[in-house]
């Protein structure tokens, strides 16, 4: 089974902190994604990466950055956390033929 693992299920951070959300997949997928999930808004794409050291902005990249130093790991960085970044964050990887995405369990981030 494909596994996408997010390092934390719950995080509480203070405003202004730098926050790292980690995601690891074990199926050698090239494409990885970070989404943000908010009630009534569905999943919105923050960033995605189609190869090591490659990244593309999604629909809501402001206030975020990403890092992909190794194929299996895709990190989301909140440079200076703000309360409006309180949300559920979902990581996903996409199979090589782009036919199926696998999701992690999500990280519920609260910024206080």
Partner 1 sequence: AQSVTQPDIHITVSEGASLELRCNYSYGATPYLFWYVQSPGQGLQLLLKYFSGDTLVQGIKGFEAEFKRSQSSFNLRKPSVHWSDAAEYFCAVRPVHKLVFGAGTILRVKS
Residue 40 in the binding site for partner 1 (CB under 8 A): yes
Query: Mask of contacts with partner 1, 46-65, x by CB under 8 A?
Result: --x-x-----x-x-------
Cα angle for residues 33, 50, 78 (degrees, 5° grid): 40
Q: Where are the alpha helices (DSSP H) in the chain?
A: none
Closest residue by Cα to residue 104 from 21, 30, 16: 21
Among 42, 53, 69, 83, binds partner 1 (CB under 8 A): 42
Window of 15-23, 62-70, 73-81, 87-95 that interacts with partner 1 by CB under 8 A: 87-95
Q: How are strands ordered across the β-sheet holding 4-6?
A: 4-6, 19-25, 73-78, 64-70
Instruction: Give the residue with the Cβ less far from partner 1, 19 or 34.
Output: 34
Residue 33 in the binding site for partner 1 (CB under 8 A): yes
Residue 11 in the binding site for partner 1 (CB under 8 A): no
**What is the length of the chain?**
112
Burial tier of 73 (Cβ tally within 10 Å: 0-12, 13-18, 19+): middle
Contacts with partner 1 by CB under 8 A lie at 4, 31, 33, 35, 40-45, 48, 50, 56, 58, 90, 92, 94, 98-101, 103-106
């Amino acid at each position: 089974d494909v596994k996408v693992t997010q390092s934390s299920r719950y995080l509480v951070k203070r405003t202004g902190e730098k926050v790292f959300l980690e995601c690891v997949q074990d199926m050698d997928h090239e494409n990885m994604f970070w989404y943000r999930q908010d009630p009534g808004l569905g999943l919105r794409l923050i960033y995605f990466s189609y190869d090591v050291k490659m990244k593309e902005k999604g629909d809501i990249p402001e206030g975020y950055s990403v890092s992909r130093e190794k194929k299996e790991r895709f990190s989301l960085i909140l440079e200076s956390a703000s309360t409006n970044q309180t949300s559920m964050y979902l990581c996903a990887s996409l199979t090589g033929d782009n036919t199926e995405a696998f999701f992690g369990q999500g990280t519920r981030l609260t910024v206080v």
